[in-house]
Amino acid sequence: MTATPLLDVRDLAIEFKTEGGAVRAVDGVSFSVDRGKTIGIVGESGCGKSVTSLGIMGLIPTPPGRYAGGEVLFEGRDLLKMSAQERRGLRGGRMGMVFQEPMTSLNPVYTIGAQIIECLKAHGMRNAREARDRAVELLDLVRLPSPSSRVDDYPHQLSGGQRQRVMIALALANNPDLLIADEPTTALDVTIQAQILDLMRDLSDRTGAAIMLITHDLGVVAETCDDVVVMYAGKVVERAPAKDLFDGPMHPYTLGLMAAVPRLDTDADRLETIPGAVPPPWAMPAGCRFASRCPLATDQCRQSPPPLREIATNRLVACWRAPIEEIAA
């Protein structure tokens, strides 16, 4: 008997109303994540990664956004059918989120301790002394130096890496079962990036929390994730265990992403790039959305959208030509 995933996203579709009509930013996205596991969501900017995460958390602004279909099952319960009050009870409690830019997510006029305490009180902790002690404990947990004194600092008094640690402390305040991290290492230097990733891995190991890591950095994915979802233009084009994906990507877009990663063991004078650009959401092609940029595209690719189908065990690919020798080479 297969255990129920902690999070199971099924055919999620999210639209935004524009002057030119409804634009579908997320179109039939499906994946799941088990307790204690880390799943990576990767793809270029604008592919729908962040909108997917906000949709799961129930943070899509309506209007102009709306859920156009699908389910988001958390322990078997559909979050999209819950009342706003029920979702608020989960958000910040059993589901935590680390946003991409901590300086815009933290309130500049309150100390970091006050913001953590507010989160704790919103989910049931009433004693002020206990809440402050817990805030210091959380700052120590995320390895912020001198937490008992830094708890009274304001966000502008912290470095970028320290603010990101505060965001993680906020997300972990109520011992969530699911932690969503949206580009948690963007704009941080490589040393701080490594420390943040080590911290997240350690916290997952200690608490058993599942992590959904949204990033464009394949190096981060290879180092951190158990499974990977590759998105392009609002759709999932490949899903696989991380090791299998890096050993043998099966979608031309995934191959292009990997080829574009800088390498030390090559004599190439310039970086590889994927030619062309992502189609605008208001003018999606009839067939495969990657066809105009794909060197292997055929008339079938340009005319008919490929389904996400199982190519091998736990390997799903949305490509009419997968697997073939040219792709695997």
- Indicate the pLDDT class of residue 200, thresholds 50, 70 and 90: confident
DSSP state of 4: P
Q: Could you write out the three-class secondary structure of 11-36?
A: EEEEEEEECCEEEEEEEEEEEEECCC
Nearest CA among 160, 14, 200 for reference residue 214: 200
Domains and CATH numbers, the chain: 7-94+174-328 (3.40.50.300)
DSSP 232-262: ETTEEEEEEEHHHHHH---SHHHHHHHHTS-
Number of Cα atoms under 13 Å in the Cβ half of residue 224: 31
The strand pairing partners of 235, in sequence order, are 232
Q: Say how many C-beta atoms besides its own lie within 10 A of residue 117's C-beta.
A: 21
Intra-chain end-to-end CA distance of the chain, in Å: 37
Residues 6+ apart with CB under 8 A from 72: 7, 8, 9, 10, 12, 55, 56, 78, 79, 80
142: confidence class by pLDDT, cuts 50, 70, 90: confident
Token representation of residue 241: 């265990």
| Cis omega (within 30 of 0) for bond into 64 | yes
Is the torsion defined by CA of 237, 239, 244, 245 positive or negative?
A: positive
Each residue's pLDDT tens digit, 267-293: 556 777 888 888 888 889 999 999 999
33-50: pLDDT as tens digits: 998 899 999 998 888 899
> What predicted TM-score, i.e. pTM, was given to this entire model?
0.87
Burial class (CB in 10 A: 0-12, 13-18, 19+), 63: exposed
Q: Dump pLDDT digits (tens) for 64-82.
A: 899 999 999 998 899 999 9
Tell me the average pLDDT of the chain.
87
> How far is Cα 181 from Cα 195, in angstroms, rounded to an integer?
15
Report residue 266's pLDDT band, with 50, 70 and 90 as the boundaries: low
pLDDT for position 226: 93
292: tokens are 């105009």
Residue 329: band (very low, low, confident or very high) from pLDDT cuts 50, 70, 90: very low
Mean pLDDT of 110-115: 92
> Residue 186 carries which DSSP code?
T
DSSP 134: H
Confidence at residue 233, expressed as pLDDT on a 0 to 100 scale: 92
Interior angle at CA 214, CA 142 and CA 77, nearest 5 = 90
Contact (Cβ atoms closer than 8 angstroms) between residue 38 and residue 85: no
